[in-house]
Amino acid sequence: MDSNRLKVLIADDDVHIAELIALYMEKEGYETYEAHSGAEAVEMFKKVSPDVVLLDIMMPDGDGYQVCREIRQVSQTPIIMLSAKGEVFDKVLGLELGADDYMVKPFDSKELIARTKSVIRRSNKKEAEESKKIVLPNLVIDQSTYTVIYHDEELILPPKEFELLTFLAKYPNQVFKREELLDKIWGYEFVGDTRTVDVHIKRLRAKLTYNDKWTIETVWGVGYKFKYKSQ
């Protein structure tokens, strides 16, 4: 199978419905996998790591709610719950358990495809946004908004201090020479000397007091590193 195709796991105890949905999805270029029980759905999920799950609520060995719970314990993969039940309670329960969308049977194939594409787009956007965040104990650096949250409070940093902190935190425990930091943060055309780096490090340290998990450490005769202890 084409490794570049997005994978859809269809979990429905009705084989005919599962096959019909698979046909719709394959026409759209998706790679499909089917499961016809709750246990099989969980097992298949772990095996193929799908990009989206279409999950029927009614299963012979347990309901889709339980499958949703088990998936959410290990993954944030988009889930669309499918059900003949249209009551508000059922929809709310599914969404509270972590489903991304809920569709009532019978549904139009075009709407199912549109909603599938929508939850995948939202998931990709969320992942892209989260990838721009560096999360450490008592410190969150958000590159998309240029903000730093330190001990649950926003810390205002000038642009170069922010960029210097972000760069060092991206590469924990890696030593950088002052000249390298000048090139990376200030650029090759910067007119100045390595004392500029020292001044900015000093300012950062004054704002980021000692933490037992991480610190900006001086490597004498070389430069600086963001020392981080994962344990």
pLDDT at 176: 95
pLDDT at 20: 95
Same domain, 50 and 150: no
Bridging pattern class, strands 153-155 and 147-150:
antiparallel
Same domain, 16 and 78: yes
Angstrom distance (rounded) from CA 32 to CA 47:
13
Task: Write the pLDDT tens digit of every residue in 158-179.
Answer: 989 999 999 999 999 999 999 8
Name the one residue in this structure whose structure tokens are 């490794």: 3
Angstrom distance (rounded) from CA 77 to CA 108:
23
Of the pLDDT bands very low, low, confident and very high (cuts 50, 70, 90), residue 189 is low
Task: Write the pLDDT tens digit of every residue in 24-44.
Answer: 999 999 999 999 999 999 999
Task: Give the residue-averaged pLDDT of 45-71.
Answer: 91
Angstrom distance (rounded) from CA 90 to CA 82:
11
Same domain, 142 and 221: yes
Task: Give the residue-averaged pLDDT of 75-81.
Answer: 91
Of the pLDDT bands very low, low, confident and very high (cuts 50, 70, 90), residue 75 is confident
168 inside domain: yes
- Residue 21's domain comprises 7-131
Three-class SS state of 81: strand
138 inside domain: yes
pLDDT at 190: 57
Which contacts of 2-5 are long-range, i.e. CB under 8 A and separated by 24 or more positions?
2/31, 5/29, 5/30, 5/31
Q: In what order do the strands lie in the sheet with 31-35?
A: 31-35, 7-11, 52-56, 79-83, 101-104
Angstrom distance (rounded) from CA 84 to CA 144:
41
Full DSSP string of 182-202 = IIIII-TT--S-THHHHHHHH
More confident residue, 88 or 24: 24
Q: What is the pTM of this model?
A: 0.59
Q: Which of 71, 98, 131 is the last residue of a domain?
A: 131
Count of structural domains within the chain: 2
Closest CA to 186 of 216, 158, 225, 160: 160
2 inside domain: no
Q: Which of 107, 131, 155 is the last residue of a domain?
A: 131
